[in-house]
Structure 1
Amino acid sequence: MTTPKKIVLAYSGGLDTSYCIKYLTKEHGYDVHALTVDTGGFSPVELQEMEERAFTLGATSYQAVNVTEALYEECLRFLVYGNSLRYQTYPLSVSAERMFQALEVAKYANLIGADAIAHGSTGAGNDQVRFDLTFQLLAPGVEIITPIRDQQLSREAEVAYLARHGVSWPDKKGKYSINQGIWGTSVGGQETLTSHQNLPEEAWPVPVTVTEARTLKLHFEEGQFVGFDGERFDHSVAAVQALEAVAAPYGIGRDVHVGDTIIGIKGRVGFAAAAPMLIIKGHHLLEKHTLAKWQLYWKEQLGNWYGMMVHEGQFLDPVMRNMEAFLEDSQKTVSGDVFVTLHPYRFVLDGVDSPYDMLGAGFGQYGEMNTGWSGSDVKGFTRILALSGQVQAAAKGSSK
């Protein structure tokens, strides 16, 4: 009797990967080893339910591993240092998470000697590239199987297949694809397939329940978000989660991102990322007070580049370590407090308090007075500054 092949499935508990378990066991006889890589989006109760569902669907084994701390320390904090927002909008929530999920799945597949690795990505999005690329680099020779992509299945077809095999799927779960992690929640559905519709209120996992304005004081130490309102956390992950619990019920950080996928088509997805948006925007404001002009300029270039490489699945490229070294070195003076006021669906950055604030360095007040130079100094400065342009104009005139 032939021994069934081992296959490791990157299992999120959602519709796509639930279909994969049933399909791979029922149609192909695989021993499916379901692995859930938690990036901060699952409660203990949810993980228990996912394990029960995996075995009900036919999985041979189930494992859950939490990589939230590694995700933050090795990637997310650099996205904060770089103020990285995809197209100035999206905090790269899923982009970063998928890389660390793929890393852990490849590691597990090598550990148990799997014959194949499976994931539930479609053929239209970015995740297929991130998973495939990572598996090819870290688990070379292991077959990659993608039932949803290969069969070009719709969500309706997956729900119908599961129903034929005695598995019902809740209507809301079938209507919206929701991915939750420490760096935000993405929401995809019928509305995000259009160019003109927004997501309805019921699509968002956290409803708006708080309407009274609240002022917060965010604490940063060398670029790291460490707490708020006088409470400092031992781990940045705990600080992010606590801030999310306060800000999410305001509906802060909700938006619809329109971007270019790795494979070249346009994509549209809703996201809710209250804590990440507060942290990135607050950090950016603090940097504008505490970093020099050319530090800010080059950080902007590298922050965009770093975020783009994370989005494109290139986290393992060695140039990323080079950029991380620059970004971390730039944070030595980025310490202090950022004052922010929360309102329903929006927030306002009120200001900062930092011992490294250059605005109060004593050389002058913009538009008011100066103490570090005289009017004559400025006349000489501008005369020299204009010299290059005068040379160019003279050269152009003499060439006519």
Structure 2
Amino acid sequence: MAQKPVKKVVLAYSGGLDTSIILKWLQTEYGAEVVTFTADLGQGEEIEPARAKALAAGVKPENIFIEDVREEFVRDFVFPMFRANTVYEGQYLLGTSIARPLIAKRQIEIARQVGADAVSHGATGKGNDQVRFELGYYGLEPDITVIAPWREWDFKSREALLEFAEKHQIQITKDKRGEAPFSVDANLLHSSSEGKVLEDPAVEAPEFVHMRTIAPEDAPDQPTIITIDFEKGDPVAIDGVAMSPATLLTKLNELGRDNGVGRLDLVENRFVGMKSRGVYETPGGTILLAAHRGIESITLDRGAMHLKDELMPKYASLVYNGFWFSPEREMLQAAIDYSQSKVSGQVRVKLYKGNVTVIGRTSPYSLYDQDLVTFEEGKVAYDHRDAGGFIKLNALRLRVLAKRDQRG
């Protein structure tokens, strides 16, 4: 039951069974007027039916918000994250994590617009998403009331949820009456699958779990070669064709899908303390990460590049754990964005049976000097004899240590 009076609540609403139950539960348990927000993040499903479902549940037409936020998602969240070459625990490209702050941001904006005093989400009490949503809410609106139904209600089983749905005439699709084989979250950057048939990390994921990529062994026998143009760290064109952020990522997803690129089977450490196994597909993001590192390899100074690599795990943890709106993430972002001022040029990439290989890179800001690295004599600004003193100076402390150990 409600612990605090709530007049109006903005619900992150997908139109699926869980959030449809939550919508009705908010109406019955809190007696609150519900405002729904449904975001098109490129999940690949038609979201307009959510409007009819919300109307059927008694939501006023003016309280139904359905928005295409794909361009904002890629431009303001995905691309800034990729400027840092962000991966969590060495592998995960954070596809689910990076979508949550945008949803939270729009919920708070809508709450202000309609005069709502609460927001709500459908994340469970065991996962990371509850943390990501709520840190976002509080970071933007510190006094907002947050309702997390999965931590409040008394439903003990899936059957109890279905009984509630039937009692209140909530539409239940036939496959929802049984046990779902696994749960799926998707957006333009990735899809993630967890639970049920994937819970045993010793068992290979069935092929039917994969929805965004063909199996690498089924990919074409001929490689696909593309070029990606970058400006200040962000991709702007594929094969010379300029594209908007969301259009470009969509194209990379298609290229990755057709070449079996971007599959990941991962056991990760959740922020709440448990390990979980997930199967992720990030075809376009996998290509983008390789290409971005490729253009950085010729445009970033060694010190800047290595510092970025040291900062990245911290940045990744902040995104994973829900601290997108924290001052430390913004501080890191400022440093990362500064590093990208000369990260412009073109990268040539080969896609072949699940692999992404950078095979060429050019930039008007390149730091690569062929005269310096050549083995041939020429206009060389490097004297080989200088290396001897350089090595001896760097070896000094090692020699002192070795002499001490020999005495001992």
Paired residue for 1:162?
Answer: 165
In 1: Cα distance, 2:289 partner to 2:25 partner: 41
Which range moves more in the overlay, 201-210 or 128-137? 201-210
Query: Are the counterparts in 2 of residues 16 and 148 from structure 1 also a CA contact under 8 Å?
Result: no
Segments of structure 1 that go 5 or more residues without pairing to the other structure are: none
In 1: Cα distance, 2:355 partner to 2:58 partner: 45
Paired residue for 1:256?
Answer: 265
* Length-normalised TM-score, structure 1: 0.87
Which range moves more in the overlay, 265-274 or 118-127? 265-274
In 2: Cα distance, 1:311 partner to 1:353 partner: 33
Q: Which of the numbers 130, 133, 136 marks the counterpart of 1:131?
A: 133
Paired residue for 1:227?
Answer: 237
Partner letter of residue 387 of structure 1? L
In 2: Cα distance, 1:153 partner to 1:42 partner: 31
In 2: Cα distance, 1:220 partner to 1:89 partner: 23
Alpha-carbon deviation of 1:31? 2.1
Paired residue for 1:282?
Answer: 291
- SS in structure 2 opposite 1:304? helix
In 2: Cα distance, 1:363 partner to 1:208 partner: 44
Paired residue for 1:354?
Answer: 363
Alpha-carbon deviation of 1:125? 0.6
Query: Are the counterparts in 1 of residues 17 and 172 from structure 2 also a CA contact under 8 Å?
Result: no
Paired residue for 1:171?
Answer: 175
Alpha-carbon deviation of 1:388? 2.8
Deviation per residue, 1:122-168 (Å, 9 max, x gap) = 01111111122222333344332222233465556534543454422
Query: Are the counterparts in 2 of residues 183 and 273 from structure 1 also a CA contact under 8 Å?
Result: yes
Partner letter of residue 226 of structure 2? L
Deviation per residue, 1:336-384 (Å, 9 max, x gap) = 222222234333333323344444431123xx45644344222232222
In 2: Cα distance, 1:336 partner to 1:18 partner: 47
Query: Are the counterparts in 1 of residues 265 and 280 from structure 2 also a CA contact under 8 Å?
Result: yes
Matched, 1:305 2:314: yes
Query: Are the counterparts in 2 of residues 120 and 146 from structure 1 also a CA contact under 8 Å?
Result: yes
Partner letter of residue 181 of structure 1? N
Query: Are the counterparts in 2 of residues 110 and 139 from structure 1 also a CA contact under 8 Å?
Result: no
Partner letter of residue 110 of structure 2? Y
Matched, 1:184 2:194: no
Alpha-carbon deviation of 1:224? 0.9
Q: Which of the numbers 187, 200, 205 marks the counterpart of 2:206?
A: 200
* Length-normalised TM-score, structure 2: 0.86
Query: Are the counterparts in 2 of residues 25 and 59 from structure 1 also a CA contact under 8 Å?
Result: no
In 1: Cα distance, 2:278 partner to 2:130 partner: 16
Residues 29-44 of structure 1 mapped to structure 2, 5 A cutoff: 29-41=31-43
Matched, 1:215 2:218: no
Alpha-carbon deviation of 1:56? 2.5
In 2: Cα distance, 1:337 partner to 1:237 partner: 19
- SS in structure 1 opposite 2:59? coil
Partner letter of residue 214 of structure 2? V
Residues 63-74 of structure 1 mapped to structure 2, 5 A cutoff: 63-74=65-76
RMSD (Å), alpha carbons: 2.8
Partner letter of residue 132 of structure 1? E
Segments of structure 2 that go 5 or more residues without pairing to the other structure are: none
Instruction: Decide whether aligned partners of structure 1 residues 346 and 395 sit closer, same or farther in structure 2, where only a CA change above 3 A counts.
Output: closer
Q: Which of the numbers 110, 113, 130 marks the counterpart of 1:111?
A: 113
Which range moves more in the overlay, 324-333 or 187-196? 187-196
In 2: Cα distance, 1:259 partner to 1:56 partner: 39
Deviation per residue, 1:110-130 (Å, 9 max, x gap) = 322223322111011111111
Instruction: Decide whether aligned partners of structure 1 residues 88 and 159 sit closer, same or farther in structure 2, where only a CA change above 3 A counts.
Output: farther
- SS in structure 2 opposite 1:362? helix
Percent of aligned positions with the same letter in both sequences? 28
Query: Are the counterparts in 2 of residues 187 and 271 from structure 1 also a CA contact under 8 Å?
Result: yes
Instruction: Decide whether aligned partners of structure 1 residues 245 and 157 sit closer, same or farther in structure 2, where only a CA change above 3 A counts.
Output: farther
Alpha-carbon deviation of 1:25? 2.9
Partner letter of residue 239 of structure 2? D
In 2: Cα distance, 1:196 partner to 1:160 partner: 35
Alpha-carbon deviation of 1:85? 0.8
In 1: Cα distance, 2:213 partner to 2:398 partner: 57
Query: Are the counterparts in 1 of residues 290 and 357 from structure 2 also a CA contact under 8 Å?
Result: no
Matched, 1:92 2:98: no
Alpha-carbon deviation of 1:174? 4.2
Alpha-carbon deviation of 1:83? 0.6
Query: Are the counterparts in 1 of residues 37 and 64 from structure 2 also a CA contact under 8 Å?
Result: yes
Matched, 1:79 2:81: yes
In 2: Cα distance, 1:226 partner to 1:98 partner: 25
Aligned residue-pair number = 392
Query: Are the counterparts in 2 of residues 155 and 174 from structure 1 also a CA contact under 8 Å?
Result: no
